[in-house]
């Protein structure tokens, strides 16, 4: 009779398996065993881990130190990679900058910053064709002017340097006004327009006027942020936000002749 029952159970199991399921007897027996099996397996796992942890403590400690060193290496590589990616993006945008007539774009790296004197040091010099007076730019706009040159390096006075000044035009078209933008040793520039009636307003874009021989025309200088009239001198003045931040300068282009 038990043999007959075994055959019946077998048929039930085979049919259920064929339809991708499990018959009631198999499911119940398996479920019953699993109720006991789960805590036993969990206890054994925990005990095994605990004993393994104790017996392998010295090697685990070494492993942790090794993994920590690996993690530190990975983090540093990751930040290096990020930095290189950013540098690559910056260099690509510099390479895309249009070349001025009679000028050559020399890509340079900023290797020093004299924040107090609003000067930066570049890694290119006379050997690369850089000469005093050459304008220095980033893709967003004008940065300053080369003032000292050695064979392999050069100093640049930023636009924000107190001695910097550049002829600027604002407005364009029929309302175009000419003025001078000066550095004042801070992060902003000062625009002076000597025509009281000149239309200068906030958010106006300032471009180089091209009047001087140093700066080619139509280079972006900055954005007007506030305007007022100095009645004592009959001059319209404005604060201008340049397109660069001294501390963020990494690569620049020198427009050498």
Partner 1 sequence: MMRAVLSTLVWLVAAGALQQAVAHRIAIGWGVPDFLLVVAIVLSLERSQDAAAATGFAAGLFTGAILNQAMAAFTISRMVACIVGARISASYLDKGPFNLSIVAFLCTLLSGAVYLFVIPFIDTLPGIGAHVADTIGAAIYNGVIAIPIHLLYQRVAGTAARV
Please give the residues from 35 up to 74 whose contact with partner 1 meets the rule CB under 8 A.
Answer: 35-37, 40-41, 44, 48
Establish if 89 lies at the interface with partner 1 (CB under 8 A): no
Q: With residue 179 as reference, give the H or E element that holds it.
A: strand 177-183
235-238: long-range pairs with CB below 8 Å, 24+: 235/192, 235/193, 235/194, 235/196, 236/177, 236/179, 236/192, 236/193, 236/195, 236/196, 236/198, 236/200, 237/190, 237/191, 237/192, 237/193, 238/190, 238/191, 238/193, 238/200
Measured from the CB atom, the residue of 39 and 58 that comes closer to partner 1 is 39
Question: Binders of partner 1: how many residues, by CB under 8 A?
Answer: 28
- Asked whether the beta carbons of 92 and 124 are under 8 A apart, the reply is no
Binding part of the chain for partner 1, among 28-36, 114-122, 144-152, 166-174 by CB under 8 A, reads 28-36
Binding residue for partner 1 (CB under 8 A) from 15, 32, 52, 79? 32
Does residue 6 touch partner 1 according to CB under 8 A?
yes
Shorter beta-carbon distance to partner 1: residue 29 or 81: 29
Q: In this structure, what is the dihedral angle of CA atoms 46, 50, 53, 54, given to the nearest 10 degrees?
A: -170
Q: Minimum distance from CB of 55 to partner 1 (Å)? A: 16
Quick one: which segment of 12-20, 140-148, 231-239, 244-252 binds partner 1 (CB under 8 A)? 12-20
Would you count residue 18 as binding partner 1 (CB under 8 A)?
no
Distance CA 119, CA 107 (A): 17
Is 3 an interacting residue with respect to partner 1 (CB under 8 A)?
yes
* 17 binds partner 1 per the rule CB under 8 A: yes
Q: At what angle do helices 2-18 and 24-55 cross, to 10 degrees?
A: 80
Residue 21 or 53: which CB sits closer to partner 1? 21
SS3 127: helix
| Closer CB to partner 1, 23 or 192, in the complex | 23
Report yes or no: 241 and 222 within 8 Å, Cβ to Cβ.
yes
Give residues in contact with partner 1 (CB under 8 A).
2-3, 5-7, 9-10, 12-14, 17, 22, 25-30, 32-37, 40-41, 44, 48
């Amino acid at each position: 009779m038990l043999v007959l029952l075994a055959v019946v159970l077998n048929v039930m199991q085979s049919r259920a398996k064929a339809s991708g399921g499990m018959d009631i007897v198999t499911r119940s027996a398996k479920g019953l065993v699993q109720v006991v099996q789960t805590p036993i397996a969990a206890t054994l796992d925990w005990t095994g881990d605990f004993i393994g942890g104790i017996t392998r403590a010295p090697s685990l400690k070494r492993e942790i130190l090794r993994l920590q060193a690996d993690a530190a290496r990975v983090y540093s590589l990751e930040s290096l990679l990020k930095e290189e990616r950013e540098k690559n993006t910056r260099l690509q945008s510099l390479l895309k900058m249009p070349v001025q007539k009679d000028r050559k774009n020399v890509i340079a790296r900023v290797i020093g910053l004299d924040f107090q004197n609003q000067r930066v040091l570049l890694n290119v010099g006379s050997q690369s064709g850089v000469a005093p007076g050459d304008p220095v730019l980033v893709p967003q706009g004008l940065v300053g002017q080369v003032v000292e040159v050695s064979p392999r390096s050069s100093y640049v006075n930023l636009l924000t340097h107190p001695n910097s000044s550049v002829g600027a035009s604002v407005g364009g078209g029929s309302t175009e006004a000419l003025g001078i933008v000066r550095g004042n040793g801070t992060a902003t520039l000062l625009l002076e327009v000597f025509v009281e009636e000149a239309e200068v307003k906030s958010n106006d874009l300032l471009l180089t006027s091209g009047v001087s021989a140093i700066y080619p025309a139509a280079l972006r200088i900055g954005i007007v942020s506030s305007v007022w009239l100095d009645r004592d001198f009959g001059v319209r003045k404005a604060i201008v936000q340049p397109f660069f931040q001294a501390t963020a300068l990494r690569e620049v282009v020198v427009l050498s002749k």
